[in-house]
């Protein structure tokens, strides 16, 4: 790999906790190697610090890659030197130019350097605003943005800055950081025009830690995201980093962070890391010299060990090896141009299952994702076209589809009619929850142990696990949206001696193995395959078993969609109206003909079902989220998106066992959703754009 080091470049003290030293006015550092010469001269810079405001950890808010903007006070002295390349709010041309000139002092990737240098020469304010108008914000989901030049994008320099801040934050929190170390993994994403790739970003991050004497366990090849949290706990490391944008469009990349407990970070770590990043933006000595990666005794490759130990651990979830060996059921697998192919093949081998047929056009990693518009199996049949064709050709009945970093799983099954059914995340969650509990019950030697068994799901997911728990006697808990909450809660329960068998979210994420405290599409795929193989011996399909689960525990019919609104004031007013529906501080008592029996507002902290009327789940005033429970057993949650101009809703009708009139239940849920849209959303009045493709 090319080293972009600049000989003789004077940078800050690598051990400094106070940020970079001041540079004398008019002095600049060496630029990148030819063909990108340094700017002939640079004015005295007065950088403007990027706005704060990491994710609050509240209801439904994503922390990945949201841009910060707004104009703030220009800093002087040490605070100004910290970096501040972003301007707050409406950045003036001068601030943008200063930010770009500061970038040229620090950036040594010839491609991104050349882009910015050209924009400065052209005086292209519009493009400079795109690259320097706002800085990526580090939240509980880390970073996620398009690859490219500038502080708004994922690139070599922003990776170095982010890792420097993360390193300093870990030093403050772990006195044994230099003994334990961190793990870093990456997927197969790459961006030719900016020279960025997941592998290069991972190496630069590793280089940053090693330059500070911190051991780094850097995977030598692409891996599924679940391997990083697994490695954190298996090797007892301080933290983990996965460079991936999961199922985002091809131009994106991300920087996902795990804490020592093996779960994604939650607040206040996001705020602390964000502040440390702002204080450590000037590249440290040797930041660009990746020769450290190849020669340092602090570098370790966990690839072989983790490949061995991970599959040994998920084998503990294999209960029907003899059936697996003999099954005639055929499976198709697609990794959607991501990393999953090799690892799902190994998982099938670990369970003594014949390998699934791999979709040839999609099995190998390809950062261009050439056969799909969106590399997200949650999109359903549009992503599975090639899988359907291969399954028809080879006589396979079940399709397993991972997203590009293999932490999610979609499943489709051929019906007797010849049609293909793509299971929703809630439906597969119901099947896996039933299966994993059944396997535990059939193999548990202590029937009293059920009092220590737990399952989890997010608050916008189906409550089918609650219904199973009520009948079977184990515990169910819901958390805020996202596996960062389920993973951390699972670890708390496990530390108390509880057994967390399963957790899921409606967005096709499943935690089937306690060795990984995050969603894991590899273990979910092979466990689904074993479940299907077992059911086949009883002449049952997955669809038939799903109906049996609903027959026993009650049908749970779900429907979700969203409205688009680009005016934050309209969104705020919509939710304010719900909180003052029949006068000040009064929520709706009904929605059309449906009587409201309970309200939980995770923005204000109100919960009518609690004795003190205070919500148990964490609350956040920075996002909107209200859940309505109805007397007919329906539940509807309305929430804003943290990354898109959307107001989402999730609805479910939970029927008691014995009510098997599915069509009537669907009709009733449709009526409830129509009433919700008419009376609560009021799309015509609020000029909301409807999403017609409800899921």
- Comparing 64 with 618, the larger pLDDT belongs to 618
- Fold classified for 136-301: Alpha-D-Glucose-1,6-Bisphosphate; Chain A, domain 3 (3.40.120)
Fold match between 306-553 and 556-690? no
Question: What is the average per-residue pLDDT within 347-365?
Answer: 98
DSSP 609-658: TSTT-B-SS---TTS-EEEEEETTSEEEEEEE-SSSSEEEEEEEEEPPTT
442: which residues sit within 8 A by CB, 6+ positions away? 319
* Alpha helices, DSSP H, located in 405-482: 425-443, 464-472
CA atoms of 678 and 74, how far apart (whole Å) = 48
- Length of the chain, in residues: 695
419: which residues sit within 8 A by CB, 6+ positions away? none
Radius of gyration of the chain (CA): 26
Closest Cα to residue 456, out of 401, 494, 419?
494
CA atoms of 264 and 247, how far apart (whole Å) = 18
Helix axes 340-350, 303-314, angle to 10 degrees: 50
- How many Å from the N-terminal Cα to the C-terminal Cα in the chain? 45
Residue 150 has, within 13 A of its CA and on its CB side, a CA count of: 29
Ranking 111-115, 240-244, 645-649 by mean pLDDT, the lowest is 645-649
> What integer pLDDT is reported at residue 692 of this predicted model?
64
Q: Are 523 and 317 in contact (CB under 8 A)?
A: yes
pLDDT band at 45 (very low <50, low <70, confident <90, very high): very low
Coil, strand or helix at 176: coil
In this predicted structure, the answer to whether residue 113 has a pLDDT above a threshold of 60 is yes
- Comparing 242 with 446, the larger pLDDT belongs to 242
Ranking 12-16, 530-534, 601-605 by mean pLDDT, the lowest is 12-16
Tell me, what DSSP letter sits at residue 449?
G
Domain boundaries, the chain: 136-301, 306-553, 556-690
Q: Are 646 and 604 in contact (CB under 8 A)?
A: no
CA atoms of 427 and 542, how far apart (whole Å) = 10
Q: Are 617 and 60 in contact (CB under 8 A)?
A: no
Strand pairing partners for 30?
none
pLDDT band at 446 (very low <50, low <70, confident <90, very high): confident
Question: Can you give the pTM of this predicted structure?
Answer: 0.85
Catalytic residues: 246
In this predicted structure, the answer to whether residue 159 has a pLDDT above a threshold of 70 is yes
Rounded to 5 degrees, what are φ and ψ at 493?
A: -65, -40
Question: What is the average per-residue pLDDT within 164-186?
Answer: 99
Tell me, what DSSP letter sits at residue 264?
B
> What integer pLDDT is reported at residue 92 of this predicted model?
63
C-beta neighbour count of 255 within 10 angstroms: 28
429: which residues sit within 8 A by CB, 6+ positions away? 457, 461, 462, 464, 465, 504, 505, 506, 510
Q: Which CATH architecture fits 306-553? A: 3-Layer(aba) Sandwich (3.40)
Do strands 453-458 and 499-505 pair parallel, antiparallel, or not at all (unpaired)? parallel
- Fold classified for 556-690: TATA-Binding Protein (3.30.310)
Tell me, what DSSP letter sits at residue 32?
P
| pLDDT tens readout for residues 509-548 | 999 999 999 999 999 999 999 999 999 999 999 999 999 9
Q: Are 402 and 409 in contact (CB under 8 A)?
A: yes
| pLDDT tens readout for residues 631-643 | 999 999 999 987 6
CA atoms of 8 and 568, how far apart (whole Å) = 50
Which tokens in the block code for residue 107?
Answer: 């950036």
| pLDDT tens readout for residues 362-403 | 999 999 999 999 999 998 888 999 999 999 999 999 999 999
pLDDT band at 18 (very low <50, low <70, confident <90, very high): very low
CA atoms of 607 and 285, how far apart (whole Å) = 53
CA atoms of 81 and 83, how far apart (whole Å) = 5
* Alpha helices, DSSP H, located in 515-619: 521-537, 542-553, 568-579
Closest Cα to residue 265, out of 232, 236, 239?
239
Q: How buried is 568 (Cβ within 10 angstroms: 0-12 exposed, 13-18 middle, 19+ buried)?
A: exposed
Ranking 6-15, 153-162, 522-531, 670-679 by mean pLDDT, the lowest is 6-15
Do strands 182-186 and 216-218 pair parallel, antiparallel, or not at all (unpaired)? parallel
What separation in angstroms does the CA of 115 have from each of 109, 144, 148?
10, 21, 9
Question: What is the average per-residue pLDDT within 26-31?
Answer: 37
Four-CA torsion 65, 70, 74, 77, nearest 10 degrees: -30
> What integer pLDDT is reported at residue 53 of this predicted model?
34
Q: What angle do CA 657, 662, 664 make, to 5 degrees?
A: 110
| pLDDT tens readout for residues 66-81 | 333 333 333 333 333 3
pLDDT band at 253 (very low <50, low <70, confident <90, very high): very high
Which tokens in the block code for residue 83?
Answer: 């970096």
Do strands 398-402 and 409-414 pair parallel, antiparallel, or not at all (unpaired)? antiparallel
> What percentage of the chain exceeds 70 in pLDDT?
86
């Amino acid at each position: 790999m090319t080293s972009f080091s600049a000989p003789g470049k004077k940078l800050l003290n690598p051990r400094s906790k106070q940020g970079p030293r001041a540079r004398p006015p008019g002095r600049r550092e060496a630029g990148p190697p030819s063909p990108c010469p340094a700017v002939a001269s640079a004015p005295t810079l007065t950088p403007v610090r990027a706005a704060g405001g990491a994710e609050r950890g509240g209801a439904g808010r994503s922390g990945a890659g949201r841009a910060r903007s707004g104009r703030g006070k220009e800093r002087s002295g040490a605070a100004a030197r910290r970096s501040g390349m972003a301007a707050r709010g409406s950045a003036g041309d001068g601030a943008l130019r200063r930010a770009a000139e500061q970038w040229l002092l620090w950036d040594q990737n010839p491609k991104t350097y050349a882009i910015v240098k050209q924009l400065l020469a052209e005086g292209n304010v519009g493009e400079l605003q795109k690259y320097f108008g706002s800085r990526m914000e580090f939240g509980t989901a880390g970073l996620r943005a398009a690859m490219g030049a500038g502080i708004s994008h994922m690139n070599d320099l922003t990776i170095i800055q982010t890792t420097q801040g993360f390193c300093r934050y870990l030093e403050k929190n772990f006195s044994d950081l230099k003994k334990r170390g961190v793990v870093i993994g990456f997927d197969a994403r790459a961006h030719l025009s900016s020279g960025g790739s997941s592998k290069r970003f991972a190496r630069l991050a590793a280089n940053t830690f090693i330059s500070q004497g911190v051991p780094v366990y850097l995977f030598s090849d692409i891996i599924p995201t679940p391997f990083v949290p697994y490695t954190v706990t298996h090797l007892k490391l301080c933290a983990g980093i996965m460079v991936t944008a999961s199922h985002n469009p091809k131009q994106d990349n991300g920087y996902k962070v795990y804490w020592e407990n093996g779960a994604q970070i939650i607040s206040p770590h996001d705020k602390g890391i964000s502040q440390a990043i702002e204080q450590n933006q000037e590249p440290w000595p040797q930041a660009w010299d990746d020769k450290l990666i190849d020669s340092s005794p602090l570098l370790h490759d966990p690839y072989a060990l983790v490949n061995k130990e991970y599959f040994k651990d998920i084998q503990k979830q294999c209960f029907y090896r003899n059936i697996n060996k003999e099954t005639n059921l055929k499976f198709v697998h697609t990794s959607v141009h991501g990393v999953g192919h090799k690892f799902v093949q190994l998982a099938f081998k670990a369970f003594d299952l014949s390998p699934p047929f791999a979709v040839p056009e999609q099995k190998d990693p390809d950062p261009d994702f050439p056969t799909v518009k969106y590399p997200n199996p949650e999109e359903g049949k549009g992503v599975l076209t090639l899988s359907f064709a291969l399954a028809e050709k080879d006589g396979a009945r079940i399709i397993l589809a991972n997203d590009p970093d293999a932490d999610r799983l979609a499943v489709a099954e051929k019906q007797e009619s010849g049609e293909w059914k793509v299971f929703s995340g809630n439906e597969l969650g119901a099947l896996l929850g039933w299966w994993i509990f059944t396997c535990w019950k059939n193999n548990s030697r202590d029937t009293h142990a059920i009092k220590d068994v737990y399952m989890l799901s997010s608050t916008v997911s189906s409550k089918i696990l609650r219904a199973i728990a009520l009948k079977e006697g184990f515990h169910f808990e819901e958390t805020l949206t996202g596996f960062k909450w389920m993973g951390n809660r699972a670890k708390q329960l496990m530390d108390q001696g509880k057994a967390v068998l399963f957790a899921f979210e409606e967005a096709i994420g499943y935690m089937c193995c306690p060795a990984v405290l995050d969603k894991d599409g590899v273990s979910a795929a092979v466990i689904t395959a074993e479940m299907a193989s077992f059911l086949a011996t009883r002449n049952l399909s997955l669809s038939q078993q799903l109906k049996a689960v609903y027959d026993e525990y009650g049908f749970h019919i779900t429907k979700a969609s969203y409205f688009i609104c680009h005016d934050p004031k309209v969104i705020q007013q919509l939710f304010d109206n719900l909180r003052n529906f029949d006068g000040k501080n009064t929520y709706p008592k009904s929605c059309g003909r449906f009587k409201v029996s309970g309200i939980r507002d995770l923005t204000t902290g109100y919960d009518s079902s609690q004795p003190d009327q205070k919500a148990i789940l964490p609350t956040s005033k920075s996002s909107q989220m209200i859940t309505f429970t109805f007397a007919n057993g329906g539940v509807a949650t309305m929430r804003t998106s943290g990354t898109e101009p959307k107001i989402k809703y999730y609805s479910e009708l939970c029927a008691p066992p014995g009510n098997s009139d599915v069509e009537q239940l669907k009709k009733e849920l449709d009526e409830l959703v129509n009433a919700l849209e008419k009376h609560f959303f009021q799309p015509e009045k609020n000029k909301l754009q409807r999403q017609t493709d409800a899921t």
